[in-house]
């Protein structure tokens, strides 16, 4: 803007010099004449320094500058009555413009100032004799000019009021439309959220109706929860009535670094508090909650926790927990939704527990608590698949108690049951957890040595035979009398020479995961028959010995272990 200021100063200097040289100072006031020049120059320089101020103040500065410039024009060019008309037009434009753009008070101030300028101009012209003594003409001009200025002010004010009304209505409509758009967006978000909740409920209901297996049920429920909540870990504790602890039954993401205990007292931590009080809880800053207890380093990363008790028909079954490593992950809606679905999940937990118990009982021998024939066959066929597809050895041992009928006939069936239970305990302690031990039927037991080479299995069987032979079995219900019991054992292997496994590879060719055993039922029956034939051979040869299958892949040097065909 400096060049604008320079041009303006040059024009003022030229105008003042021109009037001074051509006409002399008006009214012969030389000092006043040049004083106005100095004031105008100084004020325009001040304007230049204020150009960076706020917009509202800058507008007022330019307004005053324009008014003073008009004063200068009047002072310089009121030499003829024609100046009055030019002044009137200029003032009408000024009043009209500022009445339109400025507030009412500011527009009124400009109008009054303009009227005063006009009155001063007419009076000065009258004093100089521009009306040649005709005061009536001066008054008429004054009244006409005032009427014009008032009319312009009123008209522009009305126009401004209309424009303001239009802007006000536009602002109202824009605000209303904006509010409606925001409300519509919020309504859409609420609908989407409710839709997610309904989908989650439907998934839970679908699993509740269709799935009874505990692990499968809650794998599906975890998937449903992830569609509704943001959490890092999902855990379920179940009440152990024997220990009065809450045992971790299920968790998402595996067991590594869970930040939770494997077993919790019913009065300890947030989980214990939730169970003992029978109330749900949401904690968005666990560091400031006295109920929170750290179990391992991962717990220090936890920020938010939501827990709900599992209650069915007044019985507290356990606690469901969601945890997050972000603060404020769970809000009131989360708590309300969890609270609404907990009855469904509690029913599902109760049904799954009863189903698991019933299934376990159907696969477990009531007397010995080992796998029964059905449980053994289900697991044995699955182990066969793994053994052949992964090319790992697996051996089968069938055991029969020697002369067991004589024990029943001599001491009674209750004592016979004691002998069976005692042998089951020996087998349970003798074999590994990865081995499969079952009561095959009557006085027969069966063991699957998982991952055991054929060369080692006979030695294990012989060690077991000697251990049983050295054990004293009770022969009275009071356990005050004991006797020796012996067993006969037959062994077969998945590598027996008469077996023909049909290993099939799927469409993915060499992919190890796409391999399965097509004739596993037939193969399993053949292996059992091989071991059974070896067992019969052992009993026919005098009992209390280990006999290998006729097709066993390894020749034994131990003279206490023979192959069935040595009969």
**For residue 397, how far is the Cα from the chain centroid?**
51
Which string of DSSP letters, residue by residue, matches 297-316?
GGGGG--EEEEEEEEETTEE
State the average pLDDT over residues 464-485: 92
- pLDDT for 139: 59
16-20, 325-329, 477-481, 561-565: which is most confident: 477-481
State the average pLDDT over residues 463-479: 92
Q: Which two tokens stand for residue 156?
A: 């522009």
Q: Is the pLDDT of residue 371 over 60?
A: yes
CA distance 144 to 127: 19
Residue for token pair 């936890």:
302
State the average pLDDT over residues 137-151: 60
Query: Tell me, what CATH number does 406's domain have?
Result: 3.30.70.270
Provide the percentage of residues in the chain whose pLDDT is more than 70.
Answer: 58
For residue range 358-367, what is the model confidence (pLDDT) as tens digits? 777 778 888 9
DSSP 513: G
- pLDDT for 468: 96
Q: Which two tokens stand for residue 150?
A: 């008032």
Listed residues 139, 171, 203: the one ending a domain: 171
Name every residue whose Cβ is closer than 8 Å to that of residue 513 and which is 6 or more positions away in sequence: none
Radius of gyration of the chain (CA): 52
State the average pLDDT over residues 483-492: 95
CA distance 203 to 207: 6
Beta strand ranges found along 55-206 (DSSP E): none
**119 plus 8 within the same structural domain:** yes
**410 plus 507 within the same structural domain:** yes
State the average pLDDT over residues 506-527: 73
**386 plus 349 within the same structural domain:** no
Query: Tell me, what CATH number does 247's domain have?
Result: 3.30.450.40
For residue range 37-87, what is the model confidence (pLDDT) as tens digits? 787 777 777 766 765 555 555 555 555 666 566 655 555 555 455 555 666
- pLDDT for 175: 75
Phi, psi of 398 (to 5 degrees): -110, 130
* Cβ-contact 148, 92 below 8 angstroms: yes
Strand partners, 441: 444
CA distance 306 to 292: 12
CA distance 367 to 419: 11
Lowest mean pLDDT among 113-117, 398-402, 502-506: 113-117
18-22, 295-299, 533-537: which is most confident: 533-537
**380 plus 429 within the same structural domain:** yes
Q: Is the pLDDT of residue 257 over 60?
A: no
- pLDDT for 225: 72
Averaged pLDDT of the chain: 75
Q: Would you say residue 192 lies in a domain?
A: no
Q: Would you say residue 46 lies in a domain?
A: yes
For residue range 180-221, what is the model confidence (pLDDT) as tens digits? 777 666 666 665 665 565 556 555 555 554 555 666 666 767
Torsion (CA) 69, 70, 71, 77 in degrees, nearest 10: 110
Phi, psi of 448 (to 5 degrees): -110, 115
State the average pLDDT over residues 221-238: 75
**331 plus 401 within the same structural domain:** no
CA distance 530 to 491: 8
Q: Would you say residue 197 lies in a domain?
A: no
Listed residues 356, 382, 410: the one ending a domain: 356
- pLDDT for 2: 61
Q: Would you say residue 60 lies in a domain?
A: yes
**160 plus 221 within the same structural domain:** no
Which string of DSSP letters, residue by residue, matches 207-229?
HHHH---HHHHHHHHHHHHHTT-
**253 plus 140 within the same structural domain:** no
Q: Would you say residue 304 lies in a domain?
A: yes
State the average pLDDT over residues 264-271: 82
Q: Would you say residue 239 lies in a domain?
A: yes
Residue for token pair 């030389």:
30
**283 plus 431 within the same structural domain:** no
Query: HSE (CB half, 13 Å, CA atoms) of 497?
Result: 8
**112 plus 43 within the same structural domain:** yes
Q: pTM for this one?
A: 0.49
Q: Would you say residue 536 lies in a domain?
A: yes
**220 plus 268 within the same structural domain:** yes
Number of independent structural domains in the chain: 3
State the average pLDDT over residues 394-412: 94
- pLDDT for 173: 75
Exposure class string for 209-247: b at 16+ Cβ within 10 A, else e: eebbebeebbebbbebbeebbebbbbbbbbbeeeeebbe
Cβ neighbours of 88 (radius 10 Å): 20
Question: Would you place residue 460 in the very low, low, confident or very high pLDDT band (cuts 50, 70, 90)?
Answer: very high
**280 plus 328 within the same structural domain:** yes
For residue range 156-186, what is the model confidence (pLDDT) as tens digits? 666 666 666 776 777 777 777 777 777 666 6
Which domain does 17 fall in, by range? 2-171
Name every residue whose Cβ is closer than 8 Å to that of residue 452 and which is 6 or more positions away in sequence: 393, 394, 395, 460
CA distances from 195 to 334, 340, 344 (A): 14, 15, 18
CA distance 494 to 380: 12
Q: Would you say residue 36 lies in a domain?
A: yes
State the average pLDDT over residues 455-459: 93
Q: Which two tokens stand for residue 357?
A: 């118990």
Question: Would you place residue 98 in the very low, low, confident or very high pLDDT band (cuts 50, 70, 90)?
Answer: low
Strand partners, 322: 234, 306
Cβ neighbours of 53 (radius 10 Å): 12
Cβ neighbours of 132 (radius 10 Å): 7
Q: Is the pLDDT of residue 559 over 60?
A: no
Lowest mean pLDDT among 36-40, 107-111, 339-343: 107-111
- pLDDT for 567: 34
Listed residues 145, 171, 197: the one ending a domain: 171
Q: Which two tokens stand for residue 408?
A: 């029943």
Lowest mean pLDDT among 37-46, 105-114, 129-138, 471-480: 129-138
Beta strand ranges found along 275-391 (DSSP E): 281-283, 304-312, 315-324
- pLDDT for 133: 45
Name the nearest CA neighbour of 330 among 270, 260, 281: 281
**411 plus 554 within the same structural domain:** yes
- pLDDT for 547: 94
CA distance 399 to 476: 23
Cβ neighbours of 549 (radius 10 Å): 28
275-279, 292-296, 320-324, 491-495: which is most confident: 491-495
- pLDDT for 535: 95
């Amino acid at each position: 803007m400096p060049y604008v200021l320079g041009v303006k100063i040059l024009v003022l200097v030229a105008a003042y010099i021109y009037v001074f040289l051509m006409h002399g100072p008006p009214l012969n006031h030389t000092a006043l004449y040049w004083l106005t020049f100095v004031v105008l120059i100084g004020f325009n320089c001040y304007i230049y320094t204020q150009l960076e101020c706020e917009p509202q103040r800058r507008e007022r500065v330019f307004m005053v500058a324009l008014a003073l410039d008009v004063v200068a024009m009047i002072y310089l060019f009121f030499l003829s009555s024609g100046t009055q008309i030019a002044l009137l037009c200029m003032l009408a434009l000024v009043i009209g413009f500022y009445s339109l753009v400025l507030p009412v008070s500011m527009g009124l101030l400009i109008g009054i100032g303009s009227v005063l300028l006009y009155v001063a101009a007419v009076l000065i012209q009258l004093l100089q004799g521009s009306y040649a003594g005709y005061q009536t003409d001066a008054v008429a001009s004054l009244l006409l000019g005032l009427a014009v200025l008032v009319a312009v002010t009123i008209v522009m004010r009305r126009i401004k009021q209309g424009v303001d009304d239009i802007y006000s209505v536009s602002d109202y409509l824009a605000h209303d439309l904006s509010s409606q758009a925001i409300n519509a967006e919020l309504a859409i978000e609420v609908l989407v959220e409710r839709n997610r909740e309904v989908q989650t409920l439907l998934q839970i209901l679908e699993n509740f109706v269709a799935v009874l297996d505990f692990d499968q049920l809650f794998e599906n429920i975890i998937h449903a929860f992830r569609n509704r909540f943001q959490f890092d870990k999902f855990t379920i504790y179940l009440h152990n009535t024997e220990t009065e602890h809450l045992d971790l039954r299920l968790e998402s993401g595996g067991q590594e670094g869970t930040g939770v205990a494997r077993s919790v007292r019913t009065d300890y931590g947030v989980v214990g508090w939730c169970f003992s009080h029978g109330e749900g809880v949401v904690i968005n800053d666990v560091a400031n909650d006295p109920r929170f207890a750290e179990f391992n380093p991962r717990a220090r990363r936890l920020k938010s926790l939501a827990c709900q008790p599992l209650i069915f028909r007044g019985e507290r079954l356990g606690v469901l927990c969601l945890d997050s490593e972000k603060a404020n992950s769970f809000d009131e809606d989360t708590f309300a939704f969890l609270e609404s679905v907990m009855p469904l999940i509690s029913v599902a937990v109760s049904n799954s527990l009863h189903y698991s118990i019933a299934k376990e009982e159907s696969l477990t021998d009531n007397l010995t608590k080992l796998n029964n024939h059905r449980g053994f066959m289900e697991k044995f066929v699955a182990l066969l698949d793994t053994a052949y597809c992964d090319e790992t050895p697996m051996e089968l041992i069938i055991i029969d108690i020697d002369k067991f009928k004589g024990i029943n006939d001599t001491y009674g069936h209750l004592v016979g049951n004691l002998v069976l239970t005692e042998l089951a305990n020996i087998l349970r302690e003798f074999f590994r957890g990865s081995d499969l031990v079952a009561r095959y039927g009557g006085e027969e037991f069966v063991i699957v040595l998982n991952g055991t080479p054929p060369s080692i299995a006979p030695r294990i069987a012989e060690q077991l035979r000697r251990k049983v032979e050295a054990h004293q079995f009770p022969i009275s219900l009071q356990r005050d009398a004991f006797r020796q019991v012996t067993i006969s054992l037959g062994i077969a292997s998945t590598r027996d020479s008469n077996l023909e496994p049909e290993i099939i590879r799927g469409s993915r060719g060499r992919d190890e995961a796409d391999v399965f055993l097509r004739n596993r039922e037939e193969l399993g029956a053949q292996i059992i028959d091989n071991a059974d034939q070896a067992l019969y051979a052992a009993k026919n040869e005098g009992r209390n010995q280990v006999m290998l299958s006729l097709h066993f892949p390894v020749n034994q040097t131990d003279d206490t272990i023979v192959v069935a065909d040595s009969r």
